[in-house]
Amino acid sequence: MKTPQEIRQIAAWMSAAGLGALELRTPDERILLGKGGEPVAPRATPDVARRPPPGPHASAAGTTTVRAPSLGIFLRGHPGRATALAEPGMRVSKGQPVALLQIGPLLLPVPAPADGRLLAPRAAEGDAVGYGEPLFDFQQQ
């Protein structure tokens, strides 16, 4: 849940960017901000998001999923390096970056959710992915 200070900050950014309306969706809330006659106000609807939050999620097969911790452009490797951060089948340790998300000039890590083995990628290099989208299958160990 966003705090009133955060809502005010977002409203200030909207105003600075000249945006008339903004919708923000996360796994547990949906916020609509608009400019006009009505005062800018948050409207939280906790039941909207059906997407599970990021992190490992057990499935029937015993594998889990690495999900996007943020929105961004999915990158398997660092743009300054020729190789991927991790290949399917590789053993990785909890917290180790297995891919990156690019937002403009920023690069954010996609950390391994646990010690285990990285399985098949679920997104392609250069895909724009949203918060919580599956990026890899993952075998926890």
**What are the angstrom distances between the C-alpha of 53 and each of 27, 68, 102?**
6, 9, 20
For other proteins, the binding residue among 14, 32, 107, 119 (CB under 8 A) is 107
Q: Is 97 in the site for other proteins (CB under 8 A)?
A: yes
Q: Is 109 in the site for other proteins (CB under 8 A)?
A: yes
48-87: contacts with other proteins (CB under 8 A)? 78-82
**What are the angstrom distances between the C-alpha of 40 and each of 45, 47, 92, 97?**
16, 22, 45, 38
- List, in sequence order, every residue forming a beta bridge with 136; answer none if it has no partner: 66, 121
Q: Is 18 in the site for other proteins (CB under 8 A)?
A: no
Q: Is 36 in the site for other proteins (CB under 8 A)?
A: no
Q: Is 9 in the site for other proteins (CB under 8 A)?
A: yes
